[in-house]
Structure 1
Amino acid sequence: MQNRSLSQCLALLILTVACAKAQSPSPYSWTNLPQVTEPTFRKDTINIMQFGAKGDGATLNTQAINSALVSSSKKGGGVVLVPPGLWLTGPVALQSNVNLHLQRGAILLFTPDKSQYALVEGIYEGKRAARNQSPISGTNLENIAITGQGIVDGNGDVWRAVHKSQLTESEWKEKVASGGVLKDDGKTWYPSAQFKSASVEGKSMLIGEGQKPRDFAGMKDFLRPNLLVLNGCKKVLLEGIIFQNSPAWCLHPLMCQDLTIRKVTTKNPDYAHNGDGMDIESCKNFLIEGCTLDVGDDAICIKSGKDEEGRKRGMPTENGIIRNNTIYKGHGGFVVGSEMSGGARNIFVENCTFMGTDKGLRFKSVRGRGGVVEHIYVRNLYMKDIVQEAIFFDLYYFVKFATDGERDMRPEVNEGTPIFRNMHFENIVCNGAQKGVFIRGLPEMPVSNITMENMVLQAEKGIELIDASDIKIINTDLITKETRPVVLVDNSSQLRFDRLQYNADTEVLFKIDGARSQAIEVVNTDTKKAKVKATYGQGAKDLKL
């Protein structure tokens, strides 16, 4: 056996204990949800105009806004008021015990002058990275808020590259005329030659041993900031605000506790690369409710660090409630991963609507990530016009394998093996998708103990289960165009299909592949409607379904 470091041995011990507790119950339930504490503030109010701010869209108000925030905090806190107007500003640093309140008609517009944003150490996909300072930030603060009915605009178009195929002809001509440079093939627009160089050459923003943010000055323009980053903060409230046009991720709470996001809108163009709506990373006790998202990447995304760094941090995203949200464009409506190396648990999602997202429920990871994702509960979810899968698990995220034999190679289970298990989804309706359910685990660690019940899924294809175990599909109506087969099982076991409904003209109900496919039970289901109940291939035994 190869030698392991102490940290690797500890991580492996933790993984072994986690596997041993695979059936450990959640301390929460639908009748006993996690509790989230909201901040409170003094009534004392300071208007940013008292510090010389001008809402004329031309005056740079960075110093005035930050001075108002600092002054309020030093006096014990209260409300810093942003009245109606177009308030041009550079980076804003929130302060403890202060509520930054934007009245209706107030637009906080962040300057396109990138020299105003200092190079700082930040986080990119769970790892230390050089970034430009975020337009709004806060570190190790307590009792903070951004509230009101105003708009926060990150001026993201001056930061982002865009492909010609993502714009109309007139939009493309306008973009090219605005400045910037084109890729040599003329199909990608970059904000600057510096951005192009960093992108084409694949330069890394990750901070290596002995490096400082200033060492990345030669690629500064490429280091897009997230619109709002809150790091290590407690008792946070974001309410009522429209956050839009972010350079990269829109809202990024990191290692925060007691986080409430209510009636917030996040809005990015659908071509916004890394234009996520909300990335909740290694946070504890959070509530996301009544929000509207229409973004260029994942909408509501759960993260907890990437690979070894995430496992060393060891902070799962846990004890969360996500309810009454409407999501339009996005790569996924509710997403976990792929940077989930610290784990995720005890998350409740209910009464949400997804309209036109690429995927509905999206769970993603890959070998090497590690982490345990469990006790995820979803109910009363309504989806329309989902581009790909309504319910999606894939532990081969961004990995292509050439043959089934390559997929069947089973390395040992170690600290880098991701675990997805112990979830319950119910009352789910989807009108329009490429596939109803897709689960692809790892041969050495199948996706396991997932129950889905009371579902109506209208899709091109029905259900596909690959390297999955202990999956229960209960009282589900599959209305599919593909009827050969309706359900594909590949090297999966301990499956139960109870009260399965399907089209009367179905050719093949089940296609069972793989020698590891076994213990499949079909009950309370009229299998005689199908011309062929089941076919078997690739070493699968006849299970007499």
Structure 2
Amino acid sequence: MEENMKVNVLEGNRDLTSTANATVALQSAIDRCNQHGGGQVIIPEGRYIIDSLILKSNVDLHLESGAELIGSGDEERYQHRPGPFELIKNETPISGLIYADGQENIAITGSGTIDGNYEKFILPNQQDEVHLKFYKYPRPMMVYFENCRNVLIQGVTLQNSPFWTVHLVGDLNTEISHLTINNEVRMPNTDGIDVDRSKNTYIHDCQIHTGDDAICPKCTEETSEYGDCENLTVTNCHIVTQSSAVKFGSSSFGNFNNCIFRHLTVRDTNRGLAFQLRDPGSARNIIFEDIDIATKHYSKEWWGSGEPIYITILPRDTNTQLADAEISHVVFRNVKCCAENGILLAGYRDGAIKDVCFDHVTLDLQRPLGQEVEYDLRPDDHNGKIKRPLKAINDLSHSQYSVNDCDFD
């Protein structure tokens, strides 16, 4: 990214942090930087209340240590994208606190903080609730980048998100590095990073502590113009969440191809590595390697039942036509699990899950074999859960699956 210009937002705005809202001044600095060919917009130490900032080509929004952007919580003043959202039938628009559409060479960098101010979007008096109740769905995303090219998010902390934290829609060539996400764990829908039909995405050296899915490849229905989700690499990340650490889906209206997850530490999650495909898309050529997982079951409101590995491809509802959708060519290598539940594979037809290899996968099961446990299949056309006794499987010689030097304790 070129750094032709450096704009310090306090220049000429000495009282900026004491004003009610800093949006106009900060947006003016971004616009001016973009108009002069690009560079850095530097936000120095201080607290700045904003509605939305629209990031533009060749601009690096740089937050210095002690700098904090805080969402105002006035969603009517946020930047909106028209609906539908997730499903064609959902006509609702969505909004973002930091927003970009069709831009290139954009960045959010530094060691400062962006705060989504989630408390503005929840009902009052919920001190003891394990799953917070909110006013509406969806709520603002903290970072929403659509159809952008050459994106960098590096070093900053994103916290207190009211909804999805980072949503990448149809983006090309994105790097997310040394990012810290720290959300209220009781807040639903606070996905860490949603990679929605984006290509060439590299996520590494991140800390994610959130309530909902931490890293979530998606293919939402309304974004079909961007094709499949491809070439995602995730390495060296530490994840804590009350939902899934990694989850493909549940929006799977496109395909997931060529994804690699290496050197992840997963702690206190409701589900570890998950395929939750519920629409006509497939997942192929996925590798999980050198991963340490510890799962436990949370409350019934959170999807999941403590499964360390969860491989499912099922119809979303009675109208879903999956055609030839499949999960295939998936490798789990050197994966260590400590869990309250077993590994689940569930497909809508024979052969829907095939060519899955478990190579040096260990499971330290925290419940006795034979005990009946619950598996969570939501969302599916029966909209529910199933109960099965825990079994030890020593031989998966069936042609669809293989076990190489695995140890199931």
TM-score by length of 2: 0.84
Alpha-carbon distance, 1:444 to partner: 5.1
> Contact 1:231–1:253 (CA<8 Å) still a contact in 2?
yes
**Following the alignment from structure 1 to structure 2, what is the Cα–Cα distance between the partners of residues 341 and 51?**
49
Q: Which residue of 1 aligns with 2:333?
A: 426
The alpha-carbon distance between structure 1 residues 338 and 234, as it changes in their structure 2 partners (threshold 3 A), is same
* Equivalent position to 1:455, from 336, 358, 361: 361
**Following the alignment from structure 2 to structure 1, what is the Cα–Cα distance between the partners of residues 364 and 258?**
29
> Contact 1:232–1:254 (CA<8 Å) still a contact in 2?
yes
Q: Which residue of 1 aligns with 2:116?
A: 154
The answer to whether the aligner puts 1:131 opposite 2:131 as a matched pair is no
Q: Which residue of 1 aligns with 2:11?
A: 50
Q: More displaced, 138-147 or 238-247?
A: 238-247
Deviations 1:488-533 (A, max 9, x none): 999x765544545456xxxxxxxxxxxxxxxxxxxxxxxxxxxxxx
The answer to whether the aligner puts 1:323 opposite 2:255 as a matched pair is no
* Equivalent position to 2:128, from 145, 149, 168: 168
Q: Identify, as 1 or 2, the structure richer in helix.
A: 1
SS in 2 for 1:320: strand
The answer to whether the aligner puts 1:345 opposite 2:280 as a matched pair is no
Kindly provide the amino acid, as one letter, of the partner of residue 251 in structure 1.
V
Q: Which residue of 2 aligns with 1:396?
A: 314
The answer to whether the aligner puts 1:376 opposite 2:286 as a matched pair is yes
**Following the alignment from structure 2 to structure 1, what is the Cα–Cα distance between the partners of residues 124 and 399?**
44
Deviations 1:350-369 (A, max 9, x none): 00100111111010022xx1
SS in 2 for 1:313: helix
Kindly provide the amino acid, as one letter, of the partner of residue 487 in structure 1.
I
Q: Which residue of 1 aligns with 2:274?
A: 362
> Contact 2:190–2:212 (CA<8 Å) still a contact in 1?
yes
**Following the alignment from structure 2 to structure 1, what is the Cα–Cα distance between the partners of residues 174 and 181?**
16
Alpha-carbon distance, 1:110 to partner: 1.2
The alpha-carbon distance between structure 1 residues 156 and 51, as it changes in their structure 2 partners (threshold 3 A), is farther
> Contact 1:435–1:462 (CA<8 Å) still a contact in 2?
no
SS in 2 for 1:133: strand
Kindly provide the amino acid, as one letter, of the partner of residue 281 in structure 2.
G
**Following the alignment from structure 2 to structure 1, what is the Cα–Cα distance between the partners of residues 354 and 18?**
54
* Equivalent position to 2:195, from 277, 280, 295: 280
Alpha-carbon distance, 1:138 to partner: 0.3
The alpha-carbon distance between structure 1 residues 314 and 146, as it changes in their structure 2 partners (threshold 3 A), is closer
Q: Which residue of 2 aligns with 1:530?
A: none
Deviations 1:143-198 (A, max 9, x none): 0000000000111121235895xx428xx9xxxxxxxxxxxxxx98555xxx5xxx
Q: Identify, as 1 or 2, the structure richer in strand.
A: 2
> Contact 2:393–2:408 (CA<8 Å) still a contact in 1?
no
Q: Which residue of 2 aligns with 1:214?
A: none
**Following the alignment from structure 1 to structure 2, what is the Cα–Cα distance between the partners of residues 161 and 418?**
40
> Contact 2:96–2:141 (CA<8 Å) still a contact in 1?
yes
> Contact 1:345–1:375 (CA<8 Å) still a contact in 2?
yes
Q: Which residue of 2 aligns with 1:202?
A: none
Q: More displaced, 350-359 or 54-63?
A: 54-63
Q: 1:49-198 alignment to 2 at 5 Å?
A: 49-50=10-11, 52=13, 54-56=15-17, 58-117=19-78, 120-122=81-83, 124-125=85-86, 127=88, 129-131=91-93, 133-161=95-123, 164=126, 167-168=127-128, 190-191=134-135, 195=136
SS in 2 for 1:325: strand
Q: 1:287-306 alignment to 2 at 5 Å?
A: 287-306=202-221
**Following the alignment from structure 1 to structure 2, what is the Cα–Cα distance between the partners of residues 461 and 375?**
34
SS in 2 for 1:96: coil
TM-score by length of 1: 0.64
SS in 2 for 1:326: strand
> Contact 1:371–1:416 (CA<8 Å) still a contact in 2?
no
The alpha-carbon distance between structure 1 residues 428 and 461, as it changes in their structure 2 partners (threshold 3 A), is farther
Aligned residues: 383
> Contact 2:208–2:238 (CA<8 Å) still a contact in 1?
yes
